[in-house]
Chain A
Amino acid sequence: MNKELEHSFVELLEKHQNIVHKVCRLYTNNYDAHNDLFQEITIQLWKAYPKFRGDAKFSTWMYRVGLNTAITLYRKSKRRIDTHTFNDFEFKIKAEDYDDTEEQQLKILYKAVQQLNDIEKALVFLYLEDKNYKEISETMGISEVNARVKMNRIKTKLKTILNP
């Protein structure tokens, strides 16, 4: 791998690193595991980078590799059982931005999302990132109809958790 390739890759990843952080935040529950997964996604992105064609958007391509690493390739590290969980820090909700009810709702919602399984998390993640059903279905390798059905089920699930 030449230096130029390394440079362009690191620069692009530095710019778009939040996508990887978001995947890590969704699939891990402590700092060490977050860093560990970030590291693995970075390596996978780098390994795949020579095949990256400029015709696809770098960020779109990152979603695929990032999620694939999180749900398929990544081996949970032992460090994951660390006691330093994110808890309240994890999805800090600023009081000045929301009213009490909304703040509470969000707290419960984030907690509920954490409890979803890997595939459900992936769908929710893409949805939260404002991807349309076509993109979601292409990333996951399922039909668009099934992606919609599953998303609706997840919505119902979250609604039930929120309003028991």
Chain B
Amino acid sequence: MDELELLKKDWQKKDKDFPKLTYNEIYKMILKKSSSIVKWIFIISILEFVFWVGIAFLLKYTGYADDMANVGSNTAFIIMSVISYIILAYFFYRFYMNYRTINTTDNATTLMENILRTRRTVKQYVGFNLIAMVVSVGILLPYFIKQDPESQTIIEQATADGELLKFYAGIIIVTLLMLAVVIGILLLFYWLIYGILLKRLNKNYRELKKLEV
């Protein structure tokens, strides 16, 4: 006999081997909270949005943003803020719509794809913020140096000593290193969190896709 047929014959007799939960036991279960990966992805994604919006607010309330606004032109700063809020709203809308499509009654492949799409949106949002961070540092740093009286004194000193090039090289290297460290820590953090959370899903999704080749 075919091995699986043998197994099937036995499997269908298994019913009596399982525990029989009572009505009350099942009822208690539906009152408990889920700990599914979708719930965790949702929580972590919301935290990511809060984190980046939080940074923006922090800059505003510590007066740092005002300094930046003074450095460049006010209008340019307002336009940049408006654009960043529009982008935030766009990402949040997309995230929410993706999240809503996650349905446990879909087939396995569709469910996995929908979860991965939600994750991808947040990943793009984080990527956007990282790029925005690098670009704004690149644009604003020269203005800062120009405006800051302390930097000006150092520049004058460096010019007198003939070490201006050294001064600029130092600034660029320190800035790049700091950016690399910050981005590195953030990426490691995401890689760890999502790596652990989505390990099983990714493996099973790859396995399903392999079948389609």
Residues of A near any B CB (own CB < 8 A): 6, 9-11, 13-14, 17-18, 21-22, 25, 38-40, 42-44, 46-48, 51-52, 61, 64-65, 67-69, 71-77, 91-93, 97, 102, 105-106, 109-110, 113, 117-119, 122, 124, 127-130, 138-143, 146-147, 149-150, 154-155, 158-159, 162
Contact = CB atoms under 8 A, between A and B. Distances in A.
Contact of B111 (A22, A39, A68, A159): A68
Interface string B149-173: 0000000000000000000000000
Contacts of A71: 108, 200, 204
Interface string B47-62: 0000000000000000
B145 interface: no
B205 to A, nearest CB: 8
Nearest to A149: B211
Interface in B72-124: 103-112, 115
Contacts of B36: 40, 43-44, 69, 73-75
Contact of A48 (B14, B17, B105, B110): B105
Nearest to B21: A17
Given A43-B36, A64-B104, 9 more contacts: A25-B18, A40-B35, A64-B105, A68-B106, A106-B10, A109-B6, A119-B211, A127-B4, A128-B11
B22 interface: yes
B148 interface: no
Contact of B10 (A75, A93, A159): A93
Interface string B1-45: 011101110111111011111110011011011111110100000
A92 B10 CA distance: 10
A136 B203 CA distance: 20
Which 6 residue pairs spanning A and B have beta carbons closest together? A141-B109, A141-B107, A21-B18, A73-B36, A128-B11, A46-B30
Given A102-B6, A140-B208, A18 B108 contact: no
B65 interface: no
A57 B19 CA distance: 23
A28 to B, nearest CB: 13
Contact of B26 (A14, A18, A77, A117): A14
Which of B105, B107, B203 is most buried by chain A, counting CB atoms within 10 A of its CB? B105
Contact of A109 (B7, B23, B33): B7
Given A68-B108, A139-B108, A140-B208, A106 B7 contact: yes
A138 B109 CA distance: 10
Nearest to A163: B3
Interface residues of B, number: 51
Given A40-B36, A76-B200, A141-B110, A22 B18 contact: yes
A43 to B, nearest CB: 4
A67 B26 contact: no
A159 B3 CA distance: 7
Contacts of B35: 40, 75, 77
A124 B10 CA distance: 14
A112 to B, nearest CB: 9
Contact of B17 (A92, A124, A130): A92
B104 A128 contact: no
